[in-house]
A and B are shown apart, each in its own frame.
Chain A
Amino acid sequence: MSKHSAINRFGRSRNPAFSRNFDQGGFRTQSSSEMNAGSGFRTTSSVAESTDIMTLDGAVNKTGILLALCFTGAAVGWNIPALTLPAGILGFILALVTIFRSPSKAGTTAPFYALVQGVMLGGISLMYENLYDGIAIQAIGLTFGILASLLVCYKSGLIKPTENFRLMVGAGIGGIFILYMVSFVMSFFGSGISLLSPTNGSLMSIGLSLGIVCFASLSLVLDFDYIEEGAEKGLPKYMEWYGAFSLMVTLIWLYLEILRLLAKINSRR
Chain B
Amino acid sequence: MSNALIFGGMAIVSLFVFMNLGKIKASKNQTGRENRINRFKEGQKKFTGNKDVTDHGGFE
A: residues with CB less than 8 A from B are 15-17, 20, 33-48, 50, 53, 56-57, 59-60, 63-64, 67, 134, 137-138, 140-145, 147-149, 151-152, 154-157, 160-163, 165-166, 222, 225-226, 228-229, 232-235
Contacts and interface: CB of A to CB of B under 8 A. Distances in A.
A17 B52 contact: no
Given A40-B43, A45-B53, A163-B35, A60 B19 contact: yes
Contacts, number: 170
Contact of B47 (A20, A160, A234): A234
B9 to A, nearest CB: 8
Contact of A151 (B22, B58, B60): B22
Contact of A155 (B27, B36, B50, B55): B27
B57 A138 contact: no
Given A45-B52, A134-B4, A141-B7, A155 B30 contact: yes
B45 A41 contact: yes
Secondary structure class of chain A's binding surface, majority of residues = helix
Nearest to B26: A155
A43 to B, nearest CB: 5
Given A47-B52, A144-B15, A229-B37, A60 B23 contact: yes
Q: Which secondary structure characterizes the binding site on chain B?
A: loop
Interface of B: 3-4, 6-11, 13-15, 17-19, 21-31, 33, 35-41, 43-47, 49-50, 52-60
A20 B59 CA distance: 9
A43 B57 contact: yes
A125 B41 CA distance: 42
A213 B53 CA distance: 43
A37 B26 contact: no
B40 A137 contact: no
Given A152-B21, A157-B29, A137 B4 contact: yes
Contacts of A48: 47, 49, 53
B21 A160 contact: no
